[in-house]
Amino acid sequence: MTELEQVRHRLEELGLQRASELLDARLKAAQNNQSTYLAFLGDLLDAELSERKRRNLEVRTKLARLPYRKSLDEFDFSFQPSLDARFIRELATMAFVQRNENLIFLGPPGVGKTHLAVAMAIEAIAKGLSVYFVSLTHLIEDLRKAYEENRLDKRLRIYVRPRILVIDEVGYLPLDSLAANLFFQVVSARYERGSILLTSNKSFGEWGELLGDPILATAVLDRLLHHSHVINIRGNSYRLREKMKSGAYGGSSESE
Ligand code: ADP
Ligand code: MG
DSSP 100-152: T-EEEEE-STTSSHHHHHHHHHHHHHHTT--EEEEEHHHHHHHHHHHHHTT-H
Average pLDDT for runs of 10 along the chain of length 256: 95 97 96 96 96 96 98 96 96 98 97 98 98 98 98 97 98 96 98 97 97 97 97 90 69 40
Q: Residue 223: in which H helix or E strand, if any?
A: helix 214-226
Q: Determine the Cα–Cα distance for residues 57 and 131; give it in Å rounded to an integer.
A: 12
Please report, for the chain, the start and end positions of each structural domain, with discontinuous segments joined by +: 3-63, 65-255
pLDDT at 249: 56
Could you report how far apart the first and last alpha carbons of the chain are, in Å?
67
* Calculated CA dihedral for residues 222, 228, 232, 238, nearest 10 degrees: -120
- pLDDT for position 248: 62
User: CATH number of the domain at 65-255, please?
Assistant: 3.40.50.300
3-state secondary structure of 200: strand
Record the pTM: 0.89
Ligand 2 centroid from CA 18, angstroms = 39
On whether the CB atoms of residues 238 and 109 are closer than 8 A, the answer is no
Residue 237 Cα to ligand 1 middle (Å):
8
Backbone angles phi, psi at 154, to 5 degrees: -65, -45
Do 116 and 105 contact (CB within 8 A), yes or no? yes
Residue 136 is predicted with a pLDDT of 98
Q: Using CA atoms, how far apart are residues 194 and 201, in angstroms rounded to an integer?
A: 23
The whole-angstrom separation of Cα 69 and Cα 58 is: 12
| Cα 149 to Cα 144: distance, rounded to the nearest angstrom | 9
Residue 102 · residue 227 · CB < 8 Å: yes
Distance between CA atoms of residues 213 and 79, nearest Å: 37
Tell me if 169 sits within 8 A of 136, measured CB to CB.
yes
Residues 6+ apart with CB under 8 A from 71: 119, 122
Nearest to 184 by CA among 196, 172, 173: 196
Atom of ligand 1 nearest to the CA of 112: 6
Centre of ligand 1 from the C-alpha of residue 113, in Å = 7
Q: Are 239 and 110 in contact (CB under 8 A)?
A: yes
Compute the distance from residue 185 Cα to the ligand 2 centre, in Å.
23
From 78, 238, 243, the mutation candidate for ligand 1 (largest count of ligand atoms within 8 A of CB) is 238
Measured from the CB, is residue 112 less than 6 Å from ligand 1?
yes
Per-residue pLDDT, 123: 98
